[in-house]
């Protein structure tokens, strides 16, 4: 082969290679251009759809039990700092249509990986060491803590009033019960412990909170005087009632029993204690707490009501005297906190309700000057999957007033509570002419003045173990000062 022909072949090969490279670059450029066009059109379409769907964007999350982000108000400073755009981005993602459905799909995909052993969502807590007993907690002056107050500031108080005499033995007889304590290990998901297809919130004791709570109760008694009887009901959660104490300790939790005994030991002797833990443990094979939610059932509240009757001197009504209703399909806070646990999701709760006999109507005040009537125990058929517990006194409100027309003796009671009190209150309706329910988180007025103006004779503090925090006690005390 001549050198000229070889040279021509090499040159032709180079041209072919160069042409192939050129065509490849053109194809790549065309592909990128088309990709950008498709992406732009898709983004524009999604943006248009999201804008068109603004009217149906959710405002609350039933699954997460919270209000979703709101569209931010326009501000020049927010534009320059970028905060406005960040808030818009938060609103856009937080309120995207079908958000909860997509989250459930994500959770379902994650479950395909199987259990990963114990998992913590958030930081694990650790409770304080619980002292065996303490002196009576001091009365709190404004802007003081128990450590800053002196024991000498507490005035002498009389013995427990006669109104706290126990009811006749035969009226409160208990039938033998079976042991329903859970001793099988399960999985931990954050602060929610899941065992036997049930959720439990791990309890951590705070010594500072216990002291402040006891001082708050003693201070309220000193403010109201002996004409008003103070009742204190420390309410355990399912963690203390349904789990073996050894298991509670192995999970890093504190002993609710020891914590309650310690707190009660600091109360003024004139404060009537209403212990309910032992009674609930005796009945822990029954449906006392929801599996997917942190509240007790109304059956659990019923047994606590019987203990209140014993302390007050009432004869309790039998459960069979109340009209019962059932509403299945309840998935509560544990279900959402545990990343929609499959074990809980496959075993939803049933809401059992017991309607008071005397009256089933209350007046709800929202704290903003607006009042409306509502059932004491409502029909929860149309309630959302996660909102069925609101069937009791319409949920949490500043003030709820229940007047029983069948009682005309002028008797009245104020219940200072968080949401655990909602299932309890309906049982009190048939024992007082008027029951006032105050949620300390929302009540805006002075409760001392309210009690005096309405000649209230009894005040019941009802708070669950996890709600006994110094910040909550400060809020309660603030209502009376």
Q: How many CB atoms lie within 10 A of CB 341?
A: 23
- Please give the Cα distance from 201 to 330 (Å, whole number): 18
Question: What pLDDT is attached to residue 376?
Answer: 98
- Sign of the Cα torsion 396, 399, 404, 410 reads positive
Are 231 and 308 in contact, with CB atoms under 8 Å apart?
yes
Are 352 and 337 in contact, with CB atoms under 8 Å apart?
no
Q: How far is CA 254 from CA 71, 201, 250, 270, in A?
A: 42, 11, 10, 28
Burial label for 36, CB within 10 Å (0-12, 13-18, 19+), is: exposed
- Please give the Cα distance from 364 to 422 (Å, whole number): 13
Residues counted in the chain? 481
Are 434 and 402 in contact, with CB atoms under 8 Å apart?
yes
Picking from 152, 224, 173, the residue whose alpha carbon sits closest to that of residue 461 is: 224
- Please give the Cα distance from 470 to 481 (Å, whole number): 16
Provide block-wise average pLDDT over 10 residues at a time, the chain (481 residues). 63 72 76 79 69 60 58 67 66 59 48 37 64 83 60 40 40 55 47 87 93 96 96 97 91 93 96 98 97 96 98 97 97 86 92 97 90 96 94 96 97 97 97 97 96 97 92 95 88
Torsion (CA) 318, 319, 324, 326 in degrees, nearest 10: 180
Question: What pLDDT is attached to residue 6?
Answer: 57
- Please give the Cα distance from 454 to 50 (Å, whole number): 53
Question: What pLDDT is attached to residue 91?
Answer: 60
Question: What pLDDT is attached to residue 355?
Answer: 98
pTM score, whole prediction: 0.74
Per DSSP, helices labelled H in 313-388 are 333-337, 342-345
Instruction: Tell me the two tokens of residue 87.
Output: 């808030």
Q: What does the DSSP assignment read for 148-203?
A: TS-GGGSPP-PPPPGGGPPPPGGGG---------B-S--EEETTEEEETTEEEEPP
Are 259 and 275 in contact, with CB atoms under 8 Å apart?
no
């Amino acid at each position: 082969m001549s050198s000229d022909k070889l040279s021509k072949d090499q040159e032709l090969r180079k041209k072919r290679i160069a042409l192939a490279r050129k065509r490849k670059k053109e194809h790549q450029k065309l592909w990128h251009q088309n990709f950008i066009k498709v992406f732009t059109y898709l983004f524009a379409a999604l943006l248009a759809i999201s804008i068109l769907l603004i009217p149906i964007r959710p405002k609350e999350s039933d699954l997460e039990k919270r209000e979703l982000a709101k569209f931010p108000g326009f501000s020049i400073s927010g534009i320059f700092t970028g905060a406005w755009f960040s808030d818009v981005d938060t609103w856009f993602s937080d309120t995207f249509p079908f958000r909860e459905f997509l989250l459930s799909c994500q959770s379902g995909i994650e479950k395909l990986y199987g259990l990963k052993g114990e998992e913590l969502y958030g930081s694990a807590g650790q409770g304080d060491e619980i002292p065996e007993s303490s002196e009576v907690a001091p009365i709190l002056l404004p802007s003081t803590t128990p450590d800053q107050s002196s024991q000498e500031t507490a005035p002498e108080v009389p013995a427990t009033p006669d109104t706290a005499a126990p009811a006749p033995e035969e009226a409160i007889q208990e039938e033998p019960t079976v042991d329903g304590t859970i001793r099988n290990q399960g999985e931990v998901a954050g602060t929610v412990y899941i065992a036997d297809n049930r959720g439990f919130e791990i309890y951590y004791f705070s010594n500072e909170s216990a002291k402040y709570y006891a001082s708050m109760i003693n201070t309220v008694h000193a403010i109201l005087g002996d004409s008003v009887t103070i009742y204190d009901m420390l309410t355990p959660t399912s963690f203390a009632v349904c789990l073996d104490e050894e298991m509670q300790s192995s999970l890093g939790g504190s002993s609710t029993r020891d914590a309650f005994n310690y707190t009660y030991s600091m109360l003024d002797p004139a404060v009537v204690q209403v212990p309910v833990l032992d009674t609930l443990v005796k009945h822990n094979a029954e449906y006392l707490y929801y599996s997917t939610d942190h509240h007790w059932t109304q059956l659990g509240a019923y047994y606590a009501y019987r203990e209140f009757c014993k302390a007050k001197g009432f004869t309790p009504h039998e459960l069979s005297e109340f009209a019962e209703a059932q509403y299945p399909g309840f998935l509560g806070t544990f279900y959402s906190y545990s990343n929609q646990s499959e074990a809980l999701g496959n075993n939803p709760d049933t809401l059992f309700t017991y309607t008071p006999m005397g009256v089933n109507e209350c007046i709800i005040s929202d704290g903003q000057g607006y009042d409306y009537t509502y059932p004491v125990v409502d029909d929860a058929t149309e309630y959302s999957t996660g909102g069925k517990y609101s069937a009791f006194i319409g949920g949490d409100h500043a003030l709820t007033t229940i007047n029983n027309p069948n009682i005309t003796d002028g008797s009245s009671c104020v219940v200072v509570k968080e949401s655990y009190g909602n299932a309890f209150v309906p049982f009190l309706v048939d024992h007082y002419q008027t029951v006032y329910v105050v949620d300390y988180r929302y009540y805006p007025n002075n409760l001392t003045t309210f009690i005096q103006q309405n000649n209230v004779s009894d005040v019941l503090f009802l708070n669950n173990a996890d709600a006994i925090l110094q910040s909550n006690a400060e809020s309660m005390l603030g209502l009376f000062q």
